[in-house]
Structure 1
Amino acid sequence: MTVHGFASPYSSYQGDLLNVAVIGRGFSGMMMAIALLKTIRQPFRLRLIDPMPTVSGGQALLTARSTEILNSRARDLSVSTGEPKDFTRWLQANAPFRQAVSAAIPGFGQIFVPKSTFSDYVFQRFSEALAERKDVSVQMSSEGVASVRVTESGLFEIAFEEGDTGRFHDVILATGFGRKRAESRLEALDTFAEGGADAEHVVVLGSGLRVVDQVLQLRDGGFRGRITIVSRRGFLPQPHTRLPADAVFPNHPMPSNLRQIVRFVREACAEAEENGWSWQATMNGLRKRARTLWSSLPPSEKRQFNRHLRSIYDAHRNRLPADVHARLERELATGQTELRRGTAIETVTSGLRVRWAGETEESLFAASEVIDCRCLAPDLCEPVIADLLKGGLAVTDELDLGLAVNPAGELLGSKNRPAGLFAIGPLGLGSLPDIDLVPEIVTQTYAAASLIDARSMPQLRAG
């Protein structure tokens, strides 16, 4: 096994230490590492496992181009619980970034920063957290994971693809939306970037933030051909307000029926705008209630929401910085970029097989290149996850959208399995709305770390 160790005077520490494995070194994985280093009060061993050899603030952030802007304000991006201004203070101490930002902005907390800047911040905070823990051994493993099983002693055994194994008290899955599909998408984008300048017509599939990033990157890269965005529902991300939109929401109880909830939210948005606020402020308030609302809905209404309302909700919660949204509108107004509703069936050599909205027959849509930017659902067929499901160590949520988890990310499976198996971030999206967003992931990682710490303390006392 190829293992890359971070320098630590206790890297060869012997004894019955707590062993924790984090599978995945994207943002969820690196954030989980930070939370463990800051929360667990005893010496422990931490292994960060990912077949990608590079370590950063997250693989999705690492591969981002410098022009990609995060869609959350800096004020919402702290990785330190109890220190909401940590990221903005880090920005203020970053001399090159501070010089590049206009002095006219209302404050560092309100700006939107490049993904690469946030990645630097995450990795620096990880490095600092590690430097403060001389009693912790951290190893980086670049092997793939073949399976996660439970031993007779109640430990979790990870089998690696090269044949080695390791035993751990706690295992945290932090693989985001599925490694294989995410990596293939990135490879496709890189391939097009190398030789796509001569293309005449590019089709971009999807309707979320990745679509907007890709369209603008094509233009920034000199592409002057035609772009068609093909989206099943036809909704693109809405804009943030230019000034902060603090959460506002009616205090009286919300209805329990989905149809009535939709009417309630629409009326709340209208009322907010009448009182000088914004619909964005209302949506921010709704997000604070989203988890409770979701858990209260019966499965039939959850399915109805996913079929008819999910795309609308996502377009209003995953918003674009106002300047980026204005640029997108200008791009669409030129006619060189077009948004069309349709369902992509299959990518072929000459373009895309698609069924346009309102039509029953499939047709061929000619294109020089098709770039798939659709949001990736958790990959339940990924071998490790499929094995956990088959073995009863995990179950899917009631809609089969992802893995069933509690708010701390602990997997809900067989009652007889040992505690200590977690799925952090988007793998639990079917159980926890908005768990694909930075603030929610940060909160979840500290909750998971606190559980691990509390359960490990009897070992510490016994030692």
Structure 2
Amino acid sequence: MNAKPNVTDEHASPRPLRIAVVGGGFTGVAFIIHTILATRPAAGTTSAARLHFDLVERSAEIGRGVAYGTRDPLHRINVPSDRMSLLGDDPTHATRWLATHGKLKPGDTDANGHHYVSREAYGAYVDATLRDTVTAEGNRVHLTRWHAEATSVHLDGAARTVTLDTGASIQADRVALCIGHATPVLPCDVPDSVSQDPRFVQNPWLPGVLEHIASHRSVLIVGTGLTMADCLASLLARGHRGAITAISRRGLLPQPHGVFWSAADFLGDAPAPTSVRALLKMLRARIARDKDPYGWQPAVDALRFDLPRIWPALPKKEQRRVVRRLLPFWDVHRFRIAPQVHDVIHAAISKRNVIVERAGMTAIVAAHDGLRVTLARSLGETERRTFDHVVLCTGPSRDVFANPLLHSLRTEGLARADRAGIGVDVSPISQLVDSEGKVVDGVFVLGPATRGTFGEMTGAPDIARHIERLLKDAKTSILGACRREQTTR
């Protein structure tokens, strides 16, 4: 009998594309979801790319990170659920899921019908959407979970190896660094005697950490942003009677919501400004035009949506001026507060139950009667005061290279800081840029670490839309062959 010839099956599935995703918070989940959606078979066809994701995340839960890991129902998303959909072409996707799964609670909805649900509920939506998306693909998509931290990325020709702190390593065709916000920085040197003192709360997101503060005790909150707002909401809801003081260098509080605006029409037909002065002039003119009857919020939103055109046009010197002088003011107007939280906090401020001061903390020591803090004010003035408890709400550090993996990449010459000095330099399609200004094939950085390149990449909706656009408009660059090219910076 003649032997059968060796025949290759034309319909055999090709090797799956292996993608290592470092970071399992919102950014990592959004990337996986949109990669799956972008590679689904086109209408009238049956073939689709097979995908294998290796998701590296130390935390037990996926999709939550710091922002959505809290279990306190008073900690709300600061944007209505209809603007928090993971899917850009389905704006009510999040709201429908929340309603269907009983996550919309009394008090979540404001007078205008907008839903500001708990951060925990939104985190459940993110996790469920990932699970549903992966499950719907059957054998086409496989997801492996690694409970670890990535310590390095090594490139050898077309091969990419991600090393983990467990000693294991992952071989990948593509690497997506979905690293979240940098760890909050301490406002001053904190001695061990303070850092180990239960009266000093370094991480206000830890479960139950604020419950140990007796209601009659005095509290100093360092920071006056959205984290402070969540902490205040928790303390006040428990009937805290003691004096609460919140400090920051500028004493700025998150601003309230107004009319929502989704049109990217800030520039119109005008060219992008090339100086901070010109940009501020345009913003003030737009606010003056829209203030009656809409208020200032639509002008800020319009600027936000046009930032992809505006930010790259600013020279390096001007970008750094924005970071140095204007970023805190932009943040409190851009990242506004849920109306329920706003009403509670401002009622407490008006009653003097909460006092907001302009000051910085420059020293802290532990004493038998409390924590003694040195406050620095304007004109070099200092003041020493004692508080029963100190809670840090300082927000993320701007030093993204404090992250061990990013630090390793920069040390190896595979990464550098962006022009604004607040993140990792990436190409227009989010490819990592090395120390010589060349893109690193197959390695992408997504999320907050890229804010300095794109002007804004902090809020969940911005991150999701950015990832969605990249995968739809530049799919061959991200999922196909990546070409090494000189950036235009």
TM-score (norm 1): 0.86
- Corresponding residue to 2:431 among 410, 422, 440: 410
For residues 170-205 of structure 1, what are the alpha-carbon distances to aligned partners after superposition, in whole Å with 9 as ceiling and x for unaligned?
A: 1111121136879x9537754742422266221111
Q: Percent identity?
A: 22
Partner SS state of residue 20, structure 1: strand
Letter matched to residue 214 of structure 1: C
Matched, 1:436 2:458: yes
Partner of 1:272: 290
Which residues in structure 2 correspond to 1:6-21 (within 5 Å)? Answer: 16-21=15-20
After superposing the two structures, state which structure 1 stretch, 17-26 or 354-363, moved more: 354-363
Partner of 1:372: 392
Shift of 1:337: 0.9
For residues 279-335 of structure 1, what are the alpha-carbon distances to aligned partners after superposition, in whole Å with 9 as ceiling and x for unaligned?
A: 111111111122322222222222222222111111111111333222221111121
- Corresponding residue to 1:144 among 149, 152, 155: 149
For residues 333-377 of structure 1, what are the alpha-carbon distances to aligned partners after superposition, in whole Å with 9 as ceiling and x for unaligned?
A: 121211111122244325364443323254433222221111203
- Corresponding residue to 1:115 among 92, 115, 119: 119
- After superposition, the Cα gap between the structure-2 partners of 1:194 and 1:258, relative to the gap in structure 1 and judged at 3 Å, is same
Which residues in structure 2 correspond to 1:74-223 (within 5 Å)? Answer: 74-94=81-101, 96-97=102-103, 100=106, 106-107=112-113, 110-134=114-138, 135-151=140-156, 153-178=157-182, 185-186=202-203, 189-190=206-207, 192-197=209-214, 200-223=217-240
CA contact under 8 A between 1:235 and 1:315: conserved in structure 2? yes
Partner of 1:8: none
Letter matched to residue 140 of structure 1: R
- After superposition, the Cα gap between the structure-2 partners of 1:60 and 1:277, relative to the gap in structure 1 and judged at 3 Å, is closer
For residues 227-276 of structure 1, what are the alpha-carbon distances to aligned partners after superposition, in whole Å with 9 as ceiling and x for unaligned?
A: 111111111111002x54455747462643312321331232122123x2
CA contact under 8 A between 1:71 and 1:321: conserved in structure 2? yes
Partner of 1:327: 344
Partner of 1:4: none
For residues 39-73 of structure 1, what are the alpha-carbon distances to aligned partners after superposition, in whole Å with 9 as ceiling and x for unaligned?
A: 23411210111111223444530225211111112
Letter matched to residue 452 of structure 2: G
For residues 363-395 of structure 1, what are the alpha-carbon distances to aligned partners after superposition, in whole Å with 9 as ceiling and x for unaligned?
A: 433222221111203531222111101112211
5+ residue gaps in structure 1?
Answer: 1-12
Query: How far apart, in 2, do the equivalents of 1:66 and 1:269 lie?
Result: 35
Query: How far apart, in 2, do the equivalents of 1:342 and 1:105 lie?
Result: 35
Partner of 1:289: 306
Partner of 1:72: 79
Matched, 1:427 2:444: no
For residues 387-436 of structure 1, what are the alpha-carbon distances to aligned partners after superposition, in whole Å with 9 as ceiling and x for unaligned?
A: 10111221111232110123432212246664211111111111122201
Which residues in structure 2 correspond to 1:9-88 (within 5 Å)? Answer: 16-40=15-39, 41-88=48-95
Partner SS state of residue 166, structure 2: coil
For residues 91-134 of structure 1, what are the alpha-carbon distances to aligned partners after superposition, in whole Å with 9 as ceiling and x for unaligned?
A: 4434x345747899554xx3222212211211111111001122
CA contact under 8 A between 2:174 and 2:443: conserved in structure 1? yes
CA contact under 8 A between 1:25 and 1:59: conserved in structure 2? no
Letter matched to residue 456 of structure 2: D
Partner SS state of residue 32, structure 2: helix
Query: How far apart, in 2, do the equivalents of 1:359 and 1:104 lie?
Result: 42
After superposing the two structures, state which structure 1 stretch, 297-306 or 353-362, moved more: 353-362
- After superposition, the Cα gap between the structure-2 partners of 1:33 and 1:208, relative to the gap in structure 1 and judged at 3 Å, is same
Which residues in structure 2 correspond to 1:379-394 (within 5 Å)? Answer: 379-394=400-415
Partner SS state of residue 282, structure 1: helix
- After superposition, the Cα gap between the structure-2 partners of 1:401 and 1:454, relative to the gap in structure 1 and judged at 3 Å, is closer
CA contact under 8 A between 1:177 and 1:376: conserved in structure 2? yes
Letter matched to residue 321 of structure 1: A
- After superposition, the Cα gap between the structure-2 partners of 1:255 and 1:381, relative to the gap in structure 1 and judged at 3 Å, is closer
Partner SS state of residue 339, structure 1: strand
Letter matched to residue 142 of structure 1: H
5+ residue gaps in structure 2?
Answer: 1-11, 40-47, 187-200, 483-489
- After superposition, the Cα gap between the structure-2 partners of 1:106 and 1:376, relative to the gap in structure 1 and judged at 3 Å, is closer
Query: How far apart, in 2, do the equivalents of 1:361 and 1:280 lie?
Result: 35
- After superposition, the Cα gap between the structure-2 partners of 1:199 and 1:434, relative to the gap in structure 1 and judged at 3 Å, is farther
Query: How far apart, in 2, do the equivalents of 1:169 and 1:331 lie?
Result: 54
Partner SS state of residue 420, structure 1: strand
Partner of 2:485: none
- After superposition, the Cα gap between the structure-2 partners of 1:346 and 1:446, relative to the gap in structure 1 and judged at 3 Å, is farther
After superposing the two structures, state which structure 1 stretch, 383-392 or 322-331, moved more: 322-331
Name the Cα RMSD after superposition: 2.9
Query: How far apart, in 2, do the equivalents of 1:143 and 1:301 lie?
Result: 39
Letter matched to residue 437 of structure 1: G
